[in-house]
Amino acid sequence: MRDVIISILLFMIICGFGFEGVSSKPQVPCYFIFGDSLSDNGNNNGLISTAKVNYSPYGVDFPAGIPTGRFSNGRTAVDIIAQKLGFKRYIPPFKEAMKSLHKFKGVNYASGGAGILPETGRLLGGRVCLNQQMKNHKIIISKLAFKNGGKAMAVLNKCLYTMNIGNNDYINNYFMPEDYISSHLYTPRQYAALLIRHYSHQLKILYQNGARKVALFGLGLIGCTPAEIAIHGATNGSACVDNINAAVLIFNDKLISLVDKLNARHTDANFTYINNAGMQLTTSQGFKVFNSSCCKVRSDGLCQAASSPCKNRSEYVFWDSFHPTEAVNAITGRRAYLKEESSDAHPMDISHLVKVQ
């Protein structure tokens, strides 16, 4: 009898029914993150780039208060999403994930300065553009397939994939007419169509590699960032640079159409759109300061190294001249996971996306 009890206990421990209970298991077996500086958690640290932030005061509110390469004072929206999904650790950057495939929970491929187009952000130096993020994903998948054989695909089908990219195709490309040719070649509508064509191609590759639960973040109102207001000046009678926001909203409209098209084409997959811009409008109303950064910034809009940031980060929308504070990221992550207004996600939020069979 005692032996039976011991083997039952042993069985429970081996199968993960430990003292923390079944609910401690994450809702998906793994989480893959693609994107730019809004999601980067250290992928740029080893690159020669001006778009890297592994220095103080970045990370001042991160556990232990150390810089990690995240472009914020604390967690990013994808960190929050990972926590909501029940992951106990943050999803590691690509190089770290490669070194710890034995305890695989996903990969963060995101890179500051990166865009949908390979040339986007070229003036910033090294960065991992979307093409290369997809190549890195294929490397990871081939290693997993080698390790797990035929079971790998079934697992990849159940994982969550989020993409938050395209901001730099405007900030570090289209709206820098002296350095990039795109605005001389294309109207905002043509440019958005070009970006969506590239994006659509990458999403097809993602699908072919087993992705079945994909959330695509729309772009934020870039024209309301202190950096763009400093460069272009707010539009007369507006708090923001209106033509930048108008261009971004064209992209977002086309992204929603793409989501609808992908859902119609791939009936065994679910794609969803997260309404960043819409959430930004209601979120910023809850903050005291929305037109200047919390940290003292350099001319490129990133924080000055070793400078003292504002005392109460929760009062600010912007941490530096481009990136939101953890307080804003927490709201974005929370609402992307579980929508608070029906417009937050289309057709479903992440909590529903991960539950689809």
CB nearer to ligand NAG: give 49 or 263: 263
Q: Determine the 3-state secondary structure of 108 from DSSP.
A: strand
Residues 332-351, mask of contacts with ligand NAG (x by CB under 6 A): ---------------xx---
Greatest Cα-to-Cα distance within the chain, rounded to the nearest angstrom: 82
Shortest CA distance to 277 belongs to which of 326, 342, 187, 343?
Answer: 343
Residues 41-80, mask of contacts with ligand NAG (x by CB under 6 A): ----------------------------------------
Residue of 36, 37, 61, 284 with catalytic role? 37
Shortest approach of ligand NAG to residue 247 CB, angstroms?
20
Q: Determine the 3-state secondary structure of 224 from DSSP.
A: helix
Please state, in angstroms and as integers, the Cα–Cα distance from residue 18 to each residue in 14, 28, 294, following that order: 8, 18, 43
Task: Give the C-alpha separation, 357 to 353, whole Å.
Answer: 9
Residue of 320, 344, 346, 349 with catalytic role? 320
Restricted to residues 228-257, the positions that interact with ligand NAG (CB under 6 A) are 236-237
- Cβ atoms of 193 and 250 closer than 8 Å: no
Query: Catalytic annotation on 323?
Result: yes
- Cβ atoms of 117 and 125 closer than 8 Å: no
Task: Give the C-alpha separation, 82 to 184, whole Å.
Answer: 40
| From 21-29, 126-134, 178-186, 286-294, span contacting ligand NAG (CB under 6 A) | 286-294
- Cβ atoms of 285 and 331 closer than 8 Å: no
Shortest approach of ligand NAG to residue 246 CB, angstroms?
16
Query: Catalytic annotation on 314?
Result: no
Shortest approach of ligand NAG to residue 274 CB, angstroms?
15
Q: Which helix (H) or strand (E) holds 10?
A: helix 2-14
Q: How far is Cα of residue 152 from the mean position of the Cα atoms in its chain?
A: 24
Q: What is the 3-state secondary structure (H, E, C) of 175-193?
A: CCCCCCCHHHHCCHHHHHH
Residue of 79, 182, 323, 344 with catalytic role? 323
| DSSP output for 265-279 | H-TT-EEEEE-HHHH
CB nearer to ligand NAG: give 36 or 349: 349
CB nearer to ligand NAG: give 131 or 292: 292
Residue the block writes with tokens 């054989």: 149
Query: Catalytic annotation on 292?
Result: no
| From 31-39, 172-180, 250-258, 262-270, span contacting ligand NAG (CB under 6 A) | 262-270
Shortest approach of ligand NAG to residue 351 CB, angstroms?
14
CB nearer to ligand NAG: give 68 or 293: 293
Q: Which helix (H) or strand (E) holds 83?
A: helix 77-84
Examine residue 263 and tell whether it contacts ligand NAG (CB under 6 A). Answer: yes
Rounded-to-10 torsion of CA 48, 35, 139, 25:
120
- Cβ atoms of 44 and 52 closer than 8 Å: yes
Shortest approach of ligand NAG to residue 268 CB, angstroms?
5
Residues 287-326, mask of contacts with ligand NAG (x by CB under 6 A): -x--xx-------------------x-xx-----------
CB nearer to ligand NAG: give 99 or 288: 288
Contact residues for ligand NAG, defined by CB under 6 A = 236-237, 263, 268, 270, 288, 291-292, 312, 314-315, 347-348, 356
Which sequence positions are flagged as catalytic?
37, 320, 323
